[in-house]
Structure 1
Amino acid sequence: MDAQAWTLRARGRAARGAHSQALAVAARAGFAARGLIYVLVGVIALRIAFGQGGDGGQQADRGGALEELAGRPFGAALLVVLAVALAGMALWRLSEAVFGGAGPKGAEPSKRAAAAGRCVFYVFACYSVLSYAAGERGSGSGSSDRQTHDVTATVLGWPGGQWIVGVAGAGVVAAGLWIAVRAVRLKFREKLRTAAMSSRARRFTDVFGVTGGTARGVVFAVAGVFAVVAAVRHRPGEAKGMDDTLRTFRDLPAGPWLLAAIALGLAAFGVFSWCNARWRRI
């Protein structure tokens, strides 16, 4: 092979390396952003648990987390940084959908489809944060409860809408249980660079991964149950977004302590997301 061919090959490898490094930075920034949102949601839910949120107070969902950030010094700038980080996550998920993800099963069609779905979600999340930063408080960053009611009402009005909502709700229940079971079984270790972690880092990540994943799965599963109930009763108001779902825990016999436990679990998932920002295989 002549010198020119070697030069072109070297340049190609360098370009691919730079591209991979840029995607890694984008993905890690996205995990950090996701972690911040979950920590803030957990903090807001904790306030609600002990009567500081009230029924008309701050929402324990993404919209509430954005409101919390916007109220801080340089809030608009923080929101823009958050949006850029979420865009990085969307870009990484897009690369997984197109080229396949890390690991021996990363190129499977099911993995690519899941990555494509996550890409769409993070594109929407990025747009909603930018809209909120621009002052559009009624955008996609608004109340998850209102959005859930509106979507459920629309779908219930379609032919076969009850079945669609019911199946979707059952799917969310299954997804929530799957998330919780995988967390308890430490399946998240498969996606981490555990060999590069110290024993203390592994223990730290395991604690927050199990606690956070279980709490997140429980919230998903309960929200799915409410969607199924809404389908069976043909009442859109029975469907609940994250905020209403969390407030439901507060109204159970265990009272605020159960919601406090769930809130701490969601905050733990935020910390686990920060661990992913450091140790995820990308």
Structure 2
Amino acid sequence: MPSTPSMSPADAPRRANRSPVLRGLARGGYVASGVLHLLLGWLAVRLALGSSGGSADQQGALKELAAAPGGALLLWLTAAGFAALALWQLTEALVGVPGADTAKQVGSRVKAGAKAVLYGVLAGTAVGVATGASGGGSSEEGVTADLLAAPAGRWLVAAVGAVVVGVGVFHVVKGWRRTFLDDLRGTGGGAVGQAVVRLGQVGYAAKGVALAVVGGLFVAAAVTADPQKAGGLDDALRTIRDQPFGTALLIVTGVGIAAYGVYSFARARYARM
């Protein structure tokens, strides 16, 4: 009898990576991201106009979704989409990113792994809101307090802040230079439409600014050794609002985040997979 070929450890993630079902579900994750960013944009604009209800962050956006008609079902669909996208990114981290140069594979795999963690956290947050298990309080402040209590804690918090600032700057540059088109099937405005290009440019820039402010808050917490100064997206948006011309700046940021949401719908169709 012919022997059955042995399966290497990479076979399972490679087969999952090539699965049309997983690819379709992962595209649904980009739709979920679009919905989330549209709600985040709305919350930012509402915050700029003086609303004090709810938090303008991912959890607040998911709670807004839960309050919509059919919200429970929408939350579970959102969680499933993010979970599928996390699994998809995990397979790319394990077996490699198609289209990436050999010299860039290590960096591409690290990015895919980081995205897998991010989407996994979003899936967990959606499940927490759907089941009523989401807690209150600022997790950023708690994590920062723990880090500050560790040896070289202030340097660790500063490093976290610097990384987040770097990610924010990366988003702004990615929008400005339109390198996000590399993530889509075909490159150039003609391949996906100029509207998608403009939405991506505005969306990446706005998201990058918000992330840079989040990172700045962590750096401020490190400099002052005060975990209360650290914060997430809600704190970052409130910081923007409190600047000179902050209302206008926050409205522009909110519209930009919403633009990223619309871009995510296009990405669900055109993403390279």
TM beyond 0.5: yes
Letter in 1 for 2:154: Q
The residue number in structure 1 matching 2:232 is 241
Matching residue of 2:87: 91
Mapping of 1:84-233 within 5 angstroms? Answer: 84-105=80-101, 108-138=105-135, 146-194=138-186, 199=190, 201-233=192-224
For residues 122-152 of structure 1, the C-alpha deviation after alignment (integer angstroms, 9 at most, x for no partner) is: 22221221121111131xxx56xx0111111
List alignment gaps of at least 5 residues for structure 2: 1-13
Q: Is the 8 A contact 1:26 1:92 kept in 2?
A: no
Counterparts of 2:18 and 2:258 in 1: how far apart (Å)? 32
Tell me the alpha carbon deviations over residues 17-42 of structure 1, each in whole angstroms, 9 at most, x when there is no partner.
99431232122111111111111010
Which structure has the larger Rg over C-alpha atoms? Answer: 1
Q: What is the number of residues matched between the two proteins?
A: 259
Letter in 2 for 1:158: A
* Distance (whole Å) between structure 2 residues aligned to residue 100 and residue 252 of structure 1: 43
Aligned to 1:39: 38
AA partner of residue 75 (structure 2) = L
Q: TM-score by structure 2 length? A: 0.89
Match of 2:3 in 1: none
CA shift, 1:16, in A, is: 5.8
Counterpart-to-counterpart distance in 2, 1:104 and 1:265 = 29
Q: Secondary structure at the match of 1:194?
A: coil
TM-score (ref. length: structure 1): 0.86
Note the alpha carbon deviations across 1:70-96, whole angstroms, 9 max, x for none: 111121111111111111101110110
Provide the secondary structure at the position in 1 that maps to 2:193. helix
1:69 CA drift (Å): 0.8
Aligned to 1:3: none
1:103 Cα deviation after fit: 0.8
Q: Which residue of 1 aligns with 2:58?
A: 62
Question: What is the percent sequence identity of the aligned residues?
Answer: 38
Partner of 1:12: none
In structure 1, stretches of 5+ residues that fail to align are 1-14
State the Cα deviation string for residues 180-235 of structure 1 (Å, max 9, x = none). 0111000011121136x983842011111100000111111111111111101100
Query: Which amino acid counterpart does residue 168 of structure 2 have in structure 1?
Result: G
